Amino acid sequence: MGTGFVPWSPLGQGFLAGAFRAMESFAPDDMRLTMPRFSEPANLQSNLRLVDEVKAIADEAGVTPAQAVLAWLMAQGEDTVPIPGTRHVAYVEENTASVDVQLTPDHLARLSRLPAARGDRLSPEQMAILDWKTTCRQSNPLLGYRCKEPEH
């Protein structure tokens, strides 16, 4: 169909890049403090195991965890184009270098087998702002989701 896929927050708000390991790493106004994936201790501990596995694979490949994640995403097909956000030139350069990373089939397979992160991406309040269920206008079963009408 010629449709591309741009992963949203491909480095998990810096989490998969190994940017932090504890809630105390965040500034008091950091929005991640409101995200259940990071703010709920059980979710954070579970998700840190994902970070550790990504780091182990990255170390084996001789790249940074961010580069490993981005290279894995780009290996999913030419239509997948991750666009990580950053505020630092050094990370732009690091992320850009991921286009030259060639992960082994074993590395790709191991990354593909990792479970999904535990916990919601957004808080219930953030979801309400988006009004996810009622503003979705692109219901498409080919993409694996279907919007629901509000329950009355």
- CA 106 to CA 25: how far, in whole Å? 32
**For the chain, what percent of residues have pLDDT higher than 70?**
83
Closest CA to 54 of 40, 70, 43: 70
Q: Per the domain annotation, does 45 fall within a domain?
A: yes
The DSSP string of 81-137 is ------S-HHHHHHHHGGGG----HHHHHHHHHSPPPSS-SS-HHHHHHHTHHHH--
The pLDDT tens digits of the residues spanning 62-115 come to: 999 999 999 999 999 989 989 888 889 999 999 999 999 999 999 999 999 999
Let me know: does 86 contact 76? Beta carbons within 8 Å. Answer: no
- CA 136 to CA 87: how far, in whole Å? 30
Tally the domains of the chain: 1
First-to-last C-alpha distance (Å) of the chain: 36
Q: Per the domain annotation, does 152 fall within a domain?
A: no
The mean pLDDT of 7-24, rounded to a whole number, is 88
Q: Per the domain annotation, does 138 fall within a domain?
A: no
Q: Per the domain annotation, does 58 fall within a domain?
A: yes
The pLDDT tens digits of the residues spanning 27-41 come to: 889 888 888 998 899
- pTM of the predicted model as reported, rounded to 2 decimal places: 0.80
Q: Per the domain annotation, does 110 fall within a domain?
A: yes
> Range of 49's domain?
23-119
Q: Per the domain annotation, does 150 fall within a domain?
A: no
What is the greatest pairwise CA distance in the chain? 54
Q: Per the domain annotation, does 99 fall within a domain?
A: yes
